[in-house]
Amino acid sequence: MLRFLLLTSLAALVLAEFQPEPRFLEDEERVVGGEVARPNSWPWQISLQYQSGSSFYHTCGGTLVRQGWVMTAAHCVDRTMTWRVVLGDHNINSHEGREQYMSVSRVYVHPNWNPNNVAAGYDIALLRLSNNAVLNNYVQLGSLPPTNQVLPHNHNCYITGWGRTQTGGNLSAQLKQAYLPVVDYNTCASSGWWGSTVKNTMVCAGGGSESGCQGDSGGPLNCNVNGQWVVHGVTSFVSSSGCNAYRKPTVFTRVSAYISWMNNIMG
């Protein structure tokens, strides 16, 4: 079931694959930025895991948006598998006693998602959990932006996830974070950057040697807005020439473009 989607003409790589291990935002030559996060400092971050045999394996990130709902990328869940969500986790290789394990009762992939054309957008999905999460110091809801809010160029954001520490290496056992400032749409969609690959329903962040790129598909782009962390992006794709290649910033689904769709699903 190993799979990744390559837009051959557009050189964009979707960041999820399944057995034996997922593909993450990582450069082939070097580890790019990032640091281990303070445990449970991003309490809305979840680990999305799939079952293989009697075990579950991390494949994507996601955001707890309501007590019974998780937001992730469509390309993470657009096939039939047995999923579970782990909330309150920091080290995915050990049980620390703060975790909540939830099975997924239903997957809602955006109806316009096309797995053969990630550049069309709509790379977003909602997962209905079998039970409501218990909110505490380690598990909190992610704040979502108002409809169609767009952040300015160089806005302060962080990507979080359990990305690999090097290509072909192991996943980071501990949750990592990396600073990725926003690249505004006009810049990101210009010639020499992503061009027409990027739509205005996406958010670009990073794209220079000074930016990190630790993280994984489906996870949040956390942006500080008036002193509050707000999830403005869902990690979607990166250049096939490497994570954070020059003028090829990481591309996220812009959450504010899908608020009404999410509210209609979640009721």
Question: Cα dihedral sign for 78, 83, 88, 93?
Answer: negative
Which of these is catalytic: 47, 211, 217, 256?
217
Which letter does DSSP use for residue 53 in this model? T
End-to-end alpha carbon distance in the chain: 34
Bridge pairing between strands 182-183 and 202-205: antiparallel
Amino acid at 49: Q
Which of these is catalytic: 90, 123, 211, 216?
123
Task: Please check whether residue 59 is in contact with residue 16, taking contact to mean a CB–CB distance below 8 angstroms.
Answer: yes
220 contact partners, CB below 8 Å, separation of at least 6 = 42, 44, 45, 61, 62, 63, 142, 159, 160, 231, 233, 234, 235
Which of these is catalytic: 27, 47, 75, 211?
75
Of 155, 158, 160, the closest CA to residue 226 belongs to 155
- Cα dihedral 252→257→258→259 (10° resolution): 120
123 is catalytic: yes
191 is catalytic: no
Of 200, 234, 203, the closest CA to residue 127 belongs to 234
Task: Please check whether residue 141 is in contact with residue 7, taking contact to mean a CB–CB distance below 8 angstroms.
Answer: no
143 is catalytic: no
Distance (Å, whole) CA 185 – CA 150: 9
Catalytically active residues, by annotation = 75, 123, 217
